[in-house]
Structures are given as C-alpha cells and as structure tokens.
Chain A
C-alpha cells in the first residue's frame, strides 16, 4: 500500500503469470488460515507447528505485526516463568491478561522447562519427554538437582533468546526499514535483561552494538539503525547492565563516520547530541571548552573549504555557532564567553566565510550563512543594522534570488524584516 522505488509497469500479466500469482495467494492465505485457526481463541498454546508457522509467515511478510505479537507470546512461553512476562503494559487488548492464555502459556512453558536442556525453540520437536528420565535418575541431594535445573533453565533461556536474535537478523538485513523487526528486536533484548544473568545479557547487548555498526555500514543514514544505536548505548551505559559512560567511544564513532562521509547528517546530528555530555563528563575547563570548540569549528570549516555545497556541513556549522549566538538557556559548548569574545567569533566567521566566495561564487549556502551570521551579530550587539551591512545584505539577497529562486518567499521575508 506504500511502495517505494518500484518502477511503474503496464500492469499486464500473462495467463501464466496470473496463474502463478493466484497460486502464491492460495499458499499465503492457507498459511494465514492455519495461523488464525490456532490463535484466534484467547487461549492458544505453544506448539512447534505454530512456532514454525510464524516463521513461514514472517519470512513472506515481515510487516505482519500480529504474527510478531503471537511470536512474542510463544517465545515467552518457552522461557522460564517470571513474575510478569507478558506485555509491558497491562491494558490488555491482547490475550496475555486473559486467564485462559496465561494458563495455557505457563502450562506450555513448565512442560518445556522440565523436558529440555535446551535446543533452540525452532528445532524443538514434539518429543518433549525424551530427557526427563535422565534428570530424574540423578537422585542426588534436592538442592543439587535444583541447581542443575536452574542451570539448565538458564541455558535454555540464553539459547532461546540468542536463536531468536539470529533468526530475525537475515530479515533485518533484507528489510532494514521495517519498524516491526526493529521493535521486536528491542523487545527480545529487554527479555535478555529480564531472563539472563547480567554478564550474559551484557554480552548479548554488546554484540548487538556490533550488529548495528554493521547495519550502519550498509546504510549510513538508516534512521532506525541510528535510533537503535542510541537505545543500545543508553542501556549499555546503565547500571542495569553494569555499564559506564560510553560517550567518548560514541563521540569517536561519529568522528570516524563523518570523516568517511562528510555528508552524513545523521552522524553530525548524533555528534551534536553527544558533545554537551562529553564536555561535562570530561569536566572541561573554560579553556578546554574553547580549545574543543576551535578544533570542532576548524574541522567543519576545513571540510567546507573543499565542499561548500554540502548542507550537512552548514547545518553543523550552524549548530556550533548557536553556542556563540544563541546561548541563553541552552546546553552550549562555551557557556562562559563574554560579549566581546562572542562578537569576535562571529566577525571572524563572517570574514572567513566571505573568503570562500573567492573560489565559489555560485554556492547559495555561502550567501545564506553570511546573511544569517550578519543578522546574528546585530542581535548579539542589540543594535540596528548599519548602512554598510544593509548594502551587503542587499547584494547577498540578490545572489540568493538568482541562485535559489525556489525559496524566494523566504528571501522576501528577510528583506522586509531587515527593512532593506
């Protein structure tokens, strides 16, 4: 219903193609029918067949969120019972809060727990009692047996969680923009915290960060993968996983990502979010903050000298300069500059940006930046525009109208605002 990048075709299908499509529809609908016949009542039970069915359907259609939801119930049912293993919210539209399901699911789970030591849920077969005998034969002390059971249960849980992550990874690679897969993956990771010893859970989360880096190598701008990264890092830093701050590593990651691709606005954005924390955690002095700021500004200007058409760089430049011009009540890089220092910064920027014009006469971003920082300077000094500034603004606006006529309405507004 929402297609992207699919070329328009005549829509004509040969008889053979129609026959094949009808065949596919028939198979798909049969799977759906089986699925709903086993899950429509609120007390569906874990069966290996149902688990397999969800795999088949999700491979065909990873957007099928209802199937993902059922799979969540099934996965929980294969783990050791916990006090609250249902949905995180008890608004209860779904089956988990209904007594029927709870009984059925916990029944399935206790059965599987006693039965297996445990392969992945996928490979589980109906022969559940195969190993029961061996457990019972070892009639040692009761606590020993309980320990054994616990260890087996823990291993079972770890296997189930890891094999589930492994199962969906190929789907994620094929459908890297599918919300439901990412959501489901987050949910499994939360299960890891709930069910696994903290060291094991931490390892699962750390591996996930590696996977995310891989996804970002495949698509440097993937919105989901960046969101996922921030989510993973926040959790890896938390006490829940025995973590500590990763702000230096993550800042380093954005350095590498922006060095590899200056146009990666997602990486610049993430950098802008990390900087205030980075400086706080470093306990940076005013002097160090200023040195940091100068280095960062130098870095972006060096890039602009080569590629002034790159709007990602200009947006980041704007972010840095907002520390100077727009600093009241915000987390900024250099909070303690006095007015004179701020004015000097802005004046220098204007001069240096103007120098870009010598090599790049027809890049609209340069004129836009000149316009913006000239107005910032005037606001900073709380004064009217002088005649020389007005003249220059008029010239730049003229160039903007010529180079960027799509936004003429905006240039009109600037002209009115500046009373040119």
Chain B
C-alpha cells in the first residue's frame, strides 16, 4: 500500500471510517483526569505502561506535545526505586515491564539527560544494571523482577530498553538470541518459553528481539509469514492464535512482525484499516478490541500503530521493532 492510490481509496471511506484524530488526542489527554471512575484507581498498576501507550498514540498522531513534557518526566522519575527499576506508580514495586516503559517514554520525550541528572544512582547506568541483573546467565532469558518469573516478553523488553540506553553490552546478547531460538515451533512461530505454543504477541517480542540483536537471519521467514498471514480473518482483523476471534491489538503484533520480516504485503491492508477504524469511538475518541466494545488506551495505541505500519495518511511512521516513532529511534540510534 503506498502513495496516492491508498489516499484515494481511503477518501472514499464513509466519515465514521476516517481516523478521528482530534477525538483520539482528547481521549488520551483525558486519561489522567478520570478520578471519579473506579477503573482509574483499579488500573494504577498499569499507569506507566498507560503513559507509554498514550504517548505513542499521540506521537504517531503528530501531536507529541499534547501531554506536557516536564510533568511527564517528573511522573516517570517519581516511579523509580533505589534499585534503578521502575514501578507503575510511586507506591508500587518495580518490574521489568514498567522499567521498559519508563525508558521508552523518556526516549520519546528526549528525557535521558533528566534521567542522568535526577534519576537514582548513576542515571542510565543504574537503570540498565537493574535490567541486566535480571538476565538468567545460564539460559539467556530474563525474569520480570526478583521473584524470578521468566517470559520472552521480559527478554524483549530488556533488549529494547538497553539498546535505547546504549548499554546492550551489559547483557549476554548471544545467549538471549539462543533462548529465543529455543522458543521456535514447527509452525515458524514462537511462544513465551521453550515448548510453549506460538502466539502472535509472543512472536512479535521474539522477532523484534532478534531484529534488535541483528539476528533476524535466524527466523524461518516463509513459515512464520504463512502462519502470521493466516491470522487475518474474514472481517479484516487479526486473531492471536488459530480459531480465536479478531482483536485490534493483534493488528500491531501480527503486522509489525510481518513488517520486520518483509512480508507485510501477505495480508490485506485495506481490510485491516477498515477493521481498526470500525473499532474506534469517533466521537469520544479511543479504539476498542473490536467494534462496539469499550475503548482503552492499549487498543488505542496498537490500533494507531497498526495504521501507521500501513502508512495511513497523516500518521507519523512507527518503528516495527520498538513500537515507537521512527524519528525517535533514528535520533537515538543514529540509524
């Protein structure tokens, strides 16, 4: 899908299938003001992830300034623990998942200097050490926190954030790569651990981890692309595993994986665009898992990121390995 042909096609879509940019921006801005809703308090354990999802959406929509930079950095730093790791909110405990979000947020708002100045310990190095210490030096995989649960999501998170910090050499990348390879299945996909069933979200973490490590040559691209392309179902959306219903978040996990291995054209982009847009709330903003459901910031992020991979007009380009704006990755990695 490229250029003018795509633009024309999309202009023919009815109004409710146009991306409601202004509404989505307002929706993301409103997220931190919903203190009269119980769900706001019940989701505090996801706050830093939520900020990352919201910020990705805003950056891709071309409005990075819609959340104030100073407050963003202040909040992120308020979530840091002495260990260097980050919690989802100030009172909570640290975990890999939030540490990665913290690094990604700081990367997007160009806030590494503030981390160096005001972060715990030695700034970037302390954060990186927290993550590096979570690597299992025997198998190469990573734990989420000191309690030891391991998952390819944590391995990916570590490679993502450490590469952004420029400190990937603190971990054994070769061993991490070996571990990802050990998670490969006969269908070309990857699971959460060796032996686990292929799952689109885990596949993305594994494929993106290999790409960040510069080892995407280890992927059986034909086999994987065949399995991934079969995730697209009749309504245009993607499911995460065979025989499951489509869900907007897989628009990202499947599509970004296909993009990394150069097979994005194996699915129908127009049908996917329609599916994602039919799941948006055009008035109040936000995108849901599927048409007619409640919106949330997770699906809003991955829906918009999916549209960005498909070069939807007016959106900033997204990096399929990092789920962050390409411009951010270029600025940091100098690629």
Contact = CB atoms under 8 A, between A and B. Distances in A.
Contacts of B148: 87-89, 187
B81 interface: yes
B93 A183 contact: no
Nearest to B302: A2
B82 to A, nearest CB: 7
Contact of B267 (A21, A65, A93, A409): A409
Interface in A53-70: 60-61, 63-66, 69
Interface stretch (A7-15, A77-85, A121-129, A199-207): A7-15
A60 to B, nearest CB: 8
A230 B194 CA distance: 10
B130 interface: yes
Interface SS majority for chain A:
helix
Interface in A241-290: 263, 265-266, 269-270, 272-273
B197 A226 contact: yes
A138 interface: no
B243 A87 contact: no
Interface stretch (B66-74, B110-118, B168-176, B293-301): B293-301
A187 B304 CA distance: 37
Contacts of B232: 406-407
B37 interface: yes
Contact of A91 (B43, B134, B193): B134
B16 interface: no
A60 B42 CA distance: 9
A269 B145 contact: no
A94 interface: yes
B293 A7 contact: yes
A65 B53 CA distance: 20
Contacts of A96: 146
Contacts, number: 189
Contacts of A40: 91
Given A1-B298, A92-B83, A311-B230, A22 B36 contact: yes
Nearest to A230: B195
B288 A18 contact: no
A161 B225 CA distance: 45
Contacts of A1: 43, 46, 49-50, 53, 296-298
Contacts of B63: none
B73 to A, nearest CB: 21
A7 B247 CA distance: 14
A5 B198 contact: no
B195 A263 contact: no
B268 A221 contact: no
Most chain A Cβ neighbours within 10 Å, of B37, B146, B226, B288: B146
Contact of B292 (A8, A266, A311, A407): A8
Contacts of A150: none
Given A312-B243, A315-B242, A407-B266, A93 B94 contact: yes
A25 B45 contact: no
A277 to B, nearest CB: 11
A7 B292 contact: yes
B199 interface: yes
B278 interface: no
B230 to A, nearest CB: 6
A8 B294 contact: yes
Contacts of B42: 28, 60-61, 63
A149 B38 CA distance: 48
B45 A66 contact: yes
B11 interface: no
Interface residues of B, number: 74
B224 to A, nearest CB: 13
A322 interface: yes
Nearest to A330: B186
Given A4-B289, A311-B243, A409-B266, A28 B46 contact: no
B197 A269 contact: yes
B38 A8 contact: no
A36 interface: yes
B46 A18 contact: no
B146 A93 contact: yes
Interface string B9-50: 000000000000000000000000001111001110110011
Given A3-B288, A93-B85, A408-B268, A69 B243 contact: no
Contacts of A94: 83, 93-94, 145-146
Given A2-B298, A66-B92, A407 B268 contact: yes
A187 B150 CA distance: 12
Contacts of A91: 83, 130, 133-134, 146
A186 B187 CA distance: 28
B196 A227 contact: yes
B295 A8 contact: yes
A183 B143 CA distance: 12
Nearest to B99: A93
A28 B293 contact: no
Contact of A65 (B38, B95, B225, B266): B95
A341 to B, nearest CB: 21
A89 B50 CA distance: 28
B197 A28 contact: no
Nearest to A86: B146
A223 B294 contact: no
B326 interface: no
Interface in B179-199: 185-187, 191-193, 195-199
A322 B223 CA distance: 11
Given A2-B299, A61-B42, A269 B133 contact: no
B62 to A, nearest CB: 23
Contacts of A87: 145-148
Given A312-B242, A409-B266, A92 B197 contact: no
A24 interface: yes
Interface of A: 1-9, 11, 18, 21-22, 24-25, 28-29, 32, 36, 40, 60-61, 63-66, 69, 72, 87-94, 96, 183, 186-187, 221, 223, 226-227, 230, 263, 265-266, 269-270, 272-273, 311-312, 315, 318-319, 322, 405-410, 412-413
18 contacts: A2-B297, A2-B298, A21-B36, A21-B37, A66-B45, A87-B146, A89-B148, A92-B146, A93-B84, A93-B145, A226-B197, A269-B198, A270-B197, A315-B187, A315-B227, A319-B186, A406-B267, A406-B271
What 10 A-B pairs come out closest when comparing CB atoms?
A93-B83, A409-B265, A2-B298, A87-B146, A88-B148, A410-B266, A406-B268, A91-B133, A6-B294, A66-B92
